[in-house]
Amino acid sequence: MRILVCGGAGYIGSHACTVLAGRGHDLLVADNFANSSPRVLERLRRIIGAPVFFQQADLRVRADLDALFDGPRFDAVVHFAALKAVGDSCRRPLDYFDNNIAGTIHLLQAMQAAGVKRLVFSSSATVYGDPDSVPVREDAALRTTNPYGRTKLVMEQLIGDLCESDPSFHAANLRYFNPVGAHPSGLIGEDPGGVPDNLMPYVSQVAVGRRERLQVFGGDWPTVDGTGVRDYLHVMDLARAHADAIDYLAREDRSLTVNLGTGRGVSVLELVRAFAKASGREIPYEIVGRRAGDVAQVYADPSLAQRLLGWRAELDVEAMCRDAWRWQSMNPDGYGSAAVDEAAAGEVASQHEWDALAAG
Ligand code: NAD
Ligand code: WQD
């Protein structure tokens, strides 16, 4: 299938591209590099072993979307493109509403105009807020607690309304829990700009010496060891779920919403210990006060994804830490440490080559 991957230069999108390409799909990556590096494209080419078709585009700019859709028709779109930092969203909510919601509206309008009827969407467990019980099922109450989470919930509702209005339009709404880890090659991985908000990249940067120590947000939660419990999911398992969702949409005449997690909760200190073991590095930490907006524990009931997609997480916490560490130790400063000429050398195919390929 010909697939447009919006936000495909980002952390999860780039990993999904390796699996989608591996299944024989022809991909066009579109990204504005708001939170990623062009160097990802060269790394992707090395992993995939073929040119990576790329077109710079901003979903907020209709002309960019028109340019994306003016070539041969896509069979499906995978939509990763969003701003995703909770704290940042509290500081600049209008930017998040504009980027995530308006950008999605523009994308859906371009898809509708081009007659593209299959969408895989990146949603988040954040739509559950602080769930009444765990493990969390898809029919749990939806209640967001921050502007970013509200954009995810609104995007789910927008897509749901479009599916209602056009029975021929089908979407796979994937609610990710906590994606972590990296491609086993160590060539691509999570590279947050600035100080990492999330636990795994912060721990990884402590291990490689970029950060002095980890602050553990709360040691008095009602959990196994007093620290926060989450459902960490290997990004390669998550990537595979996107390829399975594409297969589902090609095979079934319906939409779906599924949780993507392991179904197992892991505490902060359990993750720290696993990372210290995988990296052979000490991870100094201090337990401090709780972070605003945090909850004690969230982990998925992933049984619906297994039933509908035939998907389940296969990689454990040790693999998550091992692969995250390989990426971090090979790229101590993330993509910023890659040789500048690496980006220039990238055989990133251009639009006309994509048109030629897509025209068959
Ligand atoms: P990321 O920031 O690494 O990737 C997002 C990509 O989208 C980036 O390359 C960015 O440049 C691009 N982008 C953003 N706005 C754009 C726009 N207007 N036009 C074009 N490109 C744009 O984030 P990620 O961790 O890979 O997350 C991907 C998706 O998964 C996001 O939608 C996010 O909300 C969702 N998600 C992420 C997590 C997580 O913990 N990483 C959890 C749940 C859901
Ligand atoms: C995990 C645990 C923290 C950092 C967030 C977003 C969510 C989604 C995934 C986009 C918690 C603790 C963390 C640190 C710590 N993103 N922690 N010290 O908060 O579960 O989810 O990322 O969709 O929307 O909310 O992930 O990695 O930030 O925190 O102690 O420096 O680690 O308290 O218990 P979270 P996280």
pLDDT the model gives residue 72: 86
Which residue is catalytic, options 148, 202, 299, 335?
148
Is the pLDDT at 126 greater than 90? The verdict is yes
pLDDT the model gives residue 343: 45
Q: What is the pLDDT of residues 8-61, one digit of tens each?
A: 999 999 999 999 999 999 999 999 999 999 999 999 999 999 888 999 999 999
pLDDT the model gives residue 344: 44
% the chain with pLDDT above 70: 93
pLDDT confidence of 108, banded at 50, 70, 90?
Answer: very high
Asked if residue 88 has its Cβ within 6 Å of ligand 2, the reply is no
Lowest mean pLDDT among 94-103, 243-252, 351-360: 351-360
Q: What is the pLDDT of residues 144-155, one digit of tens each?
A: 999 999 999 999
Which atom of ligand 1 approaches the CA of 58 most closely?
Answer: 19
Q: Which residue, judged by its Cα, is nearest atom 8 of ligand 1?
A: 10
**What's the gap in Å between 80 CA and the centre of ligand 1?**
5
pLDDT the model gives residue 350: 57
Which atom of ligand 2 approaches the CA of 271 most closely?
Answer: 32
pLDDT the model gives residue 358: 60
**Which residue, among 91, 161, 84, has the nearest Cα to 123 in the 3D structure?**
84
Q: Which residue, judged by its Cα, is nearest atom 28 of ligand 2?
A: 198
pLDDT the model gives residue 352: 59
Is the pLDDT at 348 greater than 80? The verdict is no
Pairwise CA distance, residues 36 & 182, whole Å: 15
Q: What is the pLDDT of residues 185-227, one digit of tens each?
A: 999 999 998 999 999 999 999 999 999 999 999 999 999 999 9
pLDDT the model gives residue 268: 98
Verify whether residue 148 is a known catalytic residue: yes
Mean pLDDT rounded to a whole number for the chain? 94
- Backbone CA torsion sign across 259, 296, 155, 75: negative
Is the pLDDT at 140 greater than 90? The verdict is yes
Pairwise CA distance, residues 192 & 287, whole Å: 23
Asked if residue 178 has its Cβ within 6 Å of ligand 2, the reply is yes
Pairwise CA distance, residues 209 & 332, whole Å: 9
Q: For the chain, which residues make up each domain, given as ranges?
A: 2-359
Pocket test for ligand 1, best of 18, 80, 233 (most atoms within 8 A of CB): 80
% the chain with pLDDT above 90: 91
Pairwise CA distance, residues 232 & 265, whole Å: 7
Q: What is the pLDDT of residues 304-335, one digit of tens each?
A: 999 999 999 999 999 999 999 999 999 999 99
Asked if residue 197 has its Cβ within 6 Å of ligand 2, the reply is yes
pLDDT confidence of 338, banded at 50, 70, 90?
Answer: low
pLDDT the model gives residue 196: 96
Q: What is the pLDDT of residues 243-266, one digit of tens each?
A: 999 999 999 999 999 999 999 999
pLDDT the model gives residue 100: 98
Cβ-contact 232, 297 below 8 angstroms = no
Which CATH architecture fits 2-359? Answer: 3-Layer(aba) Sandwich (3.40)
Which atom of ligand 2 approaches the CA of 84 most closely?
Answer: 10
- Grouping H, G, I as helix, E, B as strand and the rest as coil, residue 1 is coil
Residue ranges in the chain assigned as alpha helix (H): 11-22, 39-48, 62-69, 86-91, 93-96, 103-114, 147-165, 199-207, 235-251, 268-279, 303-309, 317-330, 340-345, 351-359
Is the pLDDT at 346 greater than 80? The verdict is no
